[in-house]
Amino acid sequence: MTSEEDTKARFRTLLDLPTEHSLTVSGSRRETRNGSEYESHWFEEHDAQAQLIARFRTWTRQSLRPPYRKQIGWERYSLKGELLDREVRYSRRPDTQYLH
């Protein structure tokens, strides 16, 4: 499996797409700035008849300095550009030992 196929498979699972729908990568970007690494991907969702029905943006932001927080998210947009759904997750430590 190529890295693009692997990326599409991971995002198909994350976005919970119907099996008859396809996902096409339409753009990717990775950059480092202000002590964080940013990565984003744009996808197009097509139905069983190959009609474009939605666009997705997924992203991660990883801090390269303590406390090394990570943010993962995705957004689904209509063809008119309206935000339809969004999910954002933040990392957290497994314990509170670091709190004073």
Residue-wise pLDDT tens digits, 71-96 = 999 999 999 999 999 999 998 766 66
Instruction: Supply the range of the domain harboring residue 15.
Output: 3-90
Q: Is residue 97 part of a domain?
A: no
> Into how many domains does the chain fold?
1
Please list, in sequence order, all residues whose beta carbon lies within 8 angstroms of the beta carbon of residue 76, skipping any fewer than 6 positions away: 15, 54, 55, 56, 83, 84, 85, 86
**Percentage of residues in the chain with pLDDT exceeding 70?**
89
Identify the pLDDT of residue 10.
77
Q: Is residue 96 part of a domain?
A: no
Q: Is residue 27 part of a domain?
A: yes
Q: Is residue 74 part of a domain?
A: yes
Task: Classify strands 36-46 and 83-90 as parallel, antiparallel or unpaired.
Answer: unpaired
Identify the pLDDT of residue 9.
77
